[in-house]
Amino acid sequence: MISILFSIAFVGAMLFIGARAVFDWMRPKRRE
């Protein structure tokens, strides 16, 4: 039971990090 919740939390975290990475990649980067 605990392992299932841990796996779900891990997948959720990976998806959240991936979504943030894609969002930051799609944004126009302005480096001065």
pLDDT digits (tens, 9 = 90+) for 10-20: 999 999 999 99
Quote the number of domains for the chain. 1
Q: Which structural domain range is residue 6 located in?
A: 1-26
pLDDT at 5: 95
Residue 31 lies in a domain: no
Count of positions (residues) in the chain: 32
Q: Is the dihedral of CA 24, 25, 27, 28 positive or negative?
A: positive
pLDDT at position 16, please? 97
Percent of the chain with pLDDT over 70: 94
Confidence of residue 32 (pLDDT cuts 50, 70, 90): low
Q: Which residue has the higher pLDDT, 32 or 24?
A: 24
Please tell me the distance from the alpha carbon of residue 21 to that of residue 29, in angstroms, as a whole number: 13
Q: Is 22 domain-assigned?
A: yes
Q: Is residue 32 part of a domain?
A: no
pTM comes to 0.57
Number of alpha carbons in the 13 Å side-chain half-sphere of residue 23: 6
